[in-house]
């Protein structure tokens, strides 16, 4: 039987109740998934709202990616709750002074928006498939059409307007959802490591880069699986987006850290001891060095040299993988790091991640990988690669 609780070893003085770390790796996975959703949606919106044609090959795929990840966003939270059966209490009777109370509403709103936009984007495909044969698949597609078979130019124009409106509303929706996750941490005054006005913004920008990076990797992998050439202008567009936002993110993260150190409020000695000790590898080396500076340098070089062809694909994909690692480490260093610095300001704890168990590494890894599995199924049901008459920007 799984132990009721797990004690974190510590040094210095920590409050007795602090020796059981409240938020585990699942709460690291949660903002990571939300971030990927917001970032992937950004790419989709660049095409659907801002009409950037170069993103066309990946736009509907981005939408599906966003949807698949969003479906899994509530799961780590649910698994973490002490009373998962009461999860909806916060939605039924929201306590509005809590940053967390809005989660149910924002998640439902955004999920609904994603489902609706996906439906509009794929409606012509549903109609087409529904009219083919009588098999199980055709019946499923008939169900998905919701009885609407009108794919005339007039109807498509109407659909495009809806897609535009939904995508436009989705930008504040997706980014609001993620900025709010940052607010959950940044608004807590009990932990110096979290309590920062910049936290929501840092979360937001790191979300964008993680989602764009994920899309780069998935798009390149999908091209290989489909044995087609990577659309270089599209890839380069995503690389530019990643490059620009990565620079913004690193500046914001640097500013946030500099603020903590420079203000040097109570407990700063312990923070310095922490960042120059246990945090050197995960924070400075992995998050900043390998995950942020390296991809910026690689992307800068690629853009400066005008690299193209296979070298561009490899360079951008490697950069994207590094950014994905960096953002995961950022989530880890915020969520776990914040709890490893004791509230006493006089001690450091050490989170011991379990492998098995409800809040172990295995569950966290499965939750992170599960949206990819769902996406693999989804692209077969709703192929995002084909051009859709409704898929274009509403210009």
Partner 1 sequence: MSDSISSLKARREFLRRLGGAAACVGAVAGAGTLGVMQKADAKGESAAAGGSFPTPDYDWTQHQWGYGIDATKCIGCLRCVEACKRENDVAGDAHHFRTWVERYVYLEGEDSPRIDSHHDPVNIEASGSEREYRFANRYKDAKVEKAFFVPKICNHCTHPACVQVCPTGATYRTKDGVVLIDHKYCIGCQYCVQACPYGARYFNERKGVSDKCTWCYHRITKGLQPACVEVCPVGARVFGDMKDKQSPMSQFVRNNRTRVLKPETGNAPNVYYVGLDKDVL
Q: What is the Cα Rg of the chain in Å?
A: 22
Q: Which of 19, 51, 169, 321 binds partner 1 (CB under 8 A)?
A: 19
Stretch that binds partner 1, among 76-84, 120-128, 132-140, 276-284 (CB under 8 A): 76-84
Stretch that binds partner 1, among 32-40, 87-95, 152-160, 202-210 (CB under 8 A): 87-95
- Start-to-end CA distance of the chain, whole Å, equals 60
Q: Which of 52, 79, 100, 198 binds partner 1 (CB under 8 A)?
A: 100
Secondary structure letter of residue 345 according to DSSP: S
CA distance 317 to 313: 6
Q: Which of 142, 155, 165, 191 binds partner 1 (CB under 8 A)?
A: 191
Contact 121, 60 (CB under 8 A): yes
Question: Which residue in 163, 161, 133, 130 sits closest to 145, CA to CA?
Answer: 130
Q: Which of 51, 53, 79, 101 binds partner 1 (CB under 8 A)?
A: 101
Residue 87 as a binder of partner 1 (CB under 8 A): the answer is yes
> In whole angstroms, how close is the CB of 201 to partner 1 at the nearest point?
21
Nearer to partner 1, 76 or 391 (CB): 76
Nearer to partner 1, 52 or 87 (CB): 87
Nearer to partner 1, 4 or 136 (CB): 4
Residue 152 as a binder of partner 1 (CB under 8 A): the answer is no
Stretch that binds partner 1, among 123-131, 186-194, 201-209, 362-370 (CB under 8 A): 186-194
CA distance 284 to 338: 16
Residue 20 as a binder of partner 1 (CB under 8 A): the answer is yes
CB atoms within 10 A of CB 388: 21
Q: Which residues within the stretch 230-269 sit at the binding site for partner 1 (CB under 8 A)?
A: none
Q: Which of 52, 53, 79, 99 binds partner 1 (CB under 8 A)?
A: 99
Letter string b/e over residues 201-212, b meaning 16 or more CB atoms within 10 A of that residue's CB: bbbbbbbbbbbb
> In whole angstroms, how close is the CB of 273 to partner 1 at the nearest point?
13
Q: How many residues bind partner 1 (CB under 8 A)?
A: 42
> In whole angstroms, how close is the CB of 182 to partner 1 at the nearest point?
15
Place of tokens 């500076």: 293
Give every CB contact of residue 23 below 8 A, 6+ residues apart in sequence. Answer: 80, 335, 336, 339
DSSP strands (E only) in the chain: 10-13, 346-349
Residue 16 as a binder of partner 1 (CB under 8 A): the answer is yes
> In whole angstroms, how close is the CB of 269 to partner 1 at the nearest point?
10
Residue 103 as a binder of partner 1 (CB under 8 A): the answer is yes
Residue 82 as a binder of partner 1 (CB under 8 A): the answer is yes
Q: In degrees rounded to 5, what are phi and psi of residue 137?
A: -60, -45
Contact 335, 185 (CB under 8 A): yes
Q: Which of 1, 97, 310, 380 binds partner 1 (CB under 8 A)?
A: 97
Annotate 229-289 with DSSP letters as a single string.
---HHHHHHHHHHHHHHHHHHHHHHHHHHHHHHHH--TTHHHHHHHHTTTTIIIIIIIIII
Q: Which of 278, 282, 345, 357 binds partner 1 (CB under 8 A)?
A: 345
Question: Which residue in 39, 38, 41, 43 sits closest to 234, CA to CA?
Answer: 43
> In whole angstroms, how close is the CB of 14 to partner 1 at the nearest point?
8
Residue 300 as a binder of partner 1 (CB under 8 A): the answer is no
Could you list the residues that contact partner 1 (CB under 8 A)?
A: 4-5, 7, 13-20, 22-23, 77, 80-84, 86-87, 89-90, 93-95, 97-101, 103, 184, 188-191, 339, 343-346
């Amino acid at each position: 039987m799984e132990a009721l609780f797990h004690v974190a070893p510590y040094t210095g003085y920590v409050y007795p109740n602090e020796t059981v770390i409240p938020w585990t790796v699942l709460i690291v996975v949660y903002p990571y998934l939300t971030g990927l959703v917001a970032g992937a949606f950004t790419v989709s919106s660049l095409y659907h709202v801002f009409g950037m044609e170069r993103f066309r090959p990946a736009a509907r795929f981005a939408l599906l990616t966003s949807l698949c990840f969003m479906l899994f966003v509530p799961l780590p939270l649910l698994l973490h709750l002490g009373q998962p059966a009461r999860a909806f209490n916060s939605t039924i009777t929201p306590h509005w002074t809590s940053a967390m109370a809005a989660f149910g509403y924002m998640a439902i709103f955004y999920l609904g928006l994603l489902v609706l936009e996906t439906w509009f984007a794929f409606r012509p495909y549903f109609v087409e498939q529904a009219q083919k044969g009588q098999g199980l698949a055709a019946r499923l597609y008939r169900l998905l059409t919701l009885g609407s078979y009108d794919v005339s130019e007039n109807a498509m124009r109407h659909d495009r307007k809806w897609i535009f409106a939904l995508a436009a509303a989705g930008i504040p929706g997706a980014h609001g959802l993620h900025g709010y996750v940052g607010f959950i941490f940044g608004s807590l005054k009990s932990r110096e490591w979290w309590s920062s006005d910049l936290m929501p913004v840092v979360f937001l920008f790191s979300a964008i880069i993680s989602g764009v990076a994920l899309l780069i990797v998935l798009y390149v992998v999908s091209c290989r699986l489909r044995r087609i050439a990577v659309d270089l202008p599209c890839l380069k567009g995503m690389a530019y987006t990643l490059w620009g936002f990565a620079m913004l993110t690193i500046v914001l993260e640097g500013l946030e850290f500099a603020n903590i150190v420079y203000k040097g409020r109570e407990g700063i000695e312990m923070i310095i001891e922490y960042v120059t000790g246990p945090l050197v590898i995960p924070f400075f080396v992995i998050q900043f060095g390998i995950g942020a500076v390296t991809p910026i340098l690689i992307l800068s070089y690629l853009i400066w040299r005008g690299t193209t062809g296979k070298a561009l694909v490899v360079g951008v994909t490697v950069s994207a993988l590094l950014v994905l690692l960096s953002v995961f480490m950022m989530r880890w260093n915020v969520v776990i790091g914040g709890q490893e610095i004791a509230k006493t300001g006089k001690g450091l704890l050490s989170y011991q991640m379990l492998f098995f168990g409800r809040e172990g590494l295995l569950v966290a890894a499965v939750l992170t990988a599960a949206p990819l599995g769902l996406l693999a199924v989804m692209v077969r049901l709703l192929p995002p690669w084909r051009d859709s008459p409704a898929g274009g920007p509403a210009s």
